[in-house]
Every structure is written in C-alpha cells, then in structure tokens.
Amino acid sequence: MEPHEPSPPAHAHTEDLLLCCEDLRIGYQGKPMLPPINLQVRRGTFLAVIGRNGSGKSTWFKTLLGLLSPVSGRVFRSSPQVKSAYVPQSTGIDALLPVRTKELVRWGRLSGWNFLRPFSSRQDRSAVESAITSAGAGPIAQLPYRELSEGQKQRALLARVLATEADLVLLDEPTAAMDAVAERETMKRLAELAHEKRLAVVVVSHDLRVAAEFADQLLFVDRETSSVVLGDANTVFCHPAFRHQYGDDYCPRHPAPGHPREPAR
C-alpha cells in the first residue's frame, strides 16, 4: 500500500466488498443535505436507492464516483482496480453522432480513442454481444441510436454500460422512460446480472414496488425528515420517515382500509 493511501476500514478485508461509505455526508458548498451514510456495496448484490425528488440520490452517486467531494466522511474503494460504470439520468449522446446502437455499445467497451480501431478483439466482440443480449437490446442493435424511443435508448445505454464489464454499475433512473413491462423486465435482468455475474448493481428508481421486488436492499434518503434508512423492503416501507413521505400503503403492517390483514371473525 502507498504511504499516503487511506487505510481501509477494519471490516473491509473481505473479497466481496467493492466500496464502502463511512460516515459519508453529501452536499454542495460544504452544506450536508442528509445525515451520515454508512453502507457497504458488495459483489453479487442489487441495491435500489429511493426517495422523493431532490432528496440527494444523484448527489450520492456523484460522490461515489468522485465527481463531487464528500462534505465529511469518506468513500472507500476496496481496491484501486475496482471498475465502475455509470449511466446518468440523461445523456447528450444522441446529439453527438448518427451511430448504430451496436457501435455505441462497442464504444462503451473500448476506452479512449481505441474505438477508432478497425477491428476489436474476439473478447471485445463477445462482451458487446453478451451486453446487448443481457440488456434486451438485440432487436435494436442495428438501428440508429438517434431514432430509438426514449425507453429503447435506455436499453442501449444499459447495454453500453454492461459491455464495460465493470464491477460496480451505477444507474440513475435507468427505466424512467420505459413502459411498465419493460421496466419490470429490466429490473429483473439487473438483479440476475448482479447475482449471476457477481456485479454490484446500484439503481435509483421511483417505482417503489418494482424496486422492492427485485433489489436485495433498499436505501431510502429523505431531506425533510433528515433520514437515511437501509434495509429490506419491510424495514424501509414501515419506517416512520418513509411512511411520512409515501403513506402507509406500502407497509404490510399498515394495510389499507378495507384490506384487513387478519380475516374478520
């Protein structure tokens, strides 16, 4: 280890650990917007980040990626080799070039000016094919990216990020423009990828039920109640801060009127 490299947390020496937030406070201009975040991101897990608009989800992603400095605390990567890939909420890719989806995915795979190489390696080609299949982007692979619908563009960008074969994949509302069927299918695929390929997948989603169905854990962030809640769906959905924002309908312990949990005697 380099002399100036920060020391890892005591619990970080496990092979599945990719990234760790330690008392991490996120915000702008030195002003924290949430209480400290403590969590570990591990291989083979699917984490969904939920919360109202403006609650700090994208800010957290930017801090994880090093695009924004923590207000305090730290983000620790278990190794400098941990490779992350990120799909932001919206991108300017379509404004760039009239490129086919498959080429866009290939460029995601080949870093820097390598994408100008006329031939990619067999390994690159196979990673591109597999990413296109995993993202369900086969039917649109030969179509110009510019001509795709917003939901199809999201699939293409998902394939692009998967082609990088990153260990940690951060996706900010990757299904926002998809119809309900495509959204469910994509979240299911992301969960399978996390579990089968041993990736860590972290997704921001506003579809709470779909997130709860497929994610291993939920991270709920809320500025109004100054809350950060990490746990399974029941833990999060029944938390007072979550219920303050979204009501009781998501919590099985607080059934909606007319749907009693116990049959009436």
Ligand X SMILES: Nc1ncnc2c1ncn2[C@@H]1O[C@H](COP(=O)(O)OP(=O)(O)OP(=O)(O)O)[C@@H](O)[C@H]1O
DSSP 241-254: HHHHHH-STT-TTS
Looking at 15-149, list the stretches that DSSP marks H as alpha helix, in order from N- to C-terminal side: 57-64, 101-109, 122-134
CA nearest 159: which of 141, 176, 183?
141
Site residues for ligand X, window 54-73 (CB under 6 A)?
54-59
Q: Which is nearer to ligand X, 137 or 204 (CB)?
A: 204
Locus of tokens 């920060």:
6
Tell me how far, at minimum, the Cβ of 170 lies from ligand X, in Å: 12
> Burial level of 110, CB count in 10 A (0-12/13-18/19+)?
middle
Q: Which is nearer to ligand X, 57 or 77 (CB)?
A: 57
Site residues for ligand X, window 147-186 (CB under 6 A)?
none
What is the DSSP secondary structure assignment for residue 228, as one 8-state letter?
Answer: E
Site string for ligand X, 11-50 (x = CB under 6 A): -----------------x----------------------
Tell me how far, at minimum, the Cβ of 68 lies from ligand X, in Å: 8
Tell me how far, at minimum, the Cβ of 197 lies from ligand X, in Å: 27
Distance in angstroms (rounded) separating the CA atoms of residues 185 and 173: 14
Q: Which is nearer to ligand X, 140 or 218 (CB)?
A: 218
For ligand X, the binding residues (CB under 6 A) are: 28, 51, 53-59
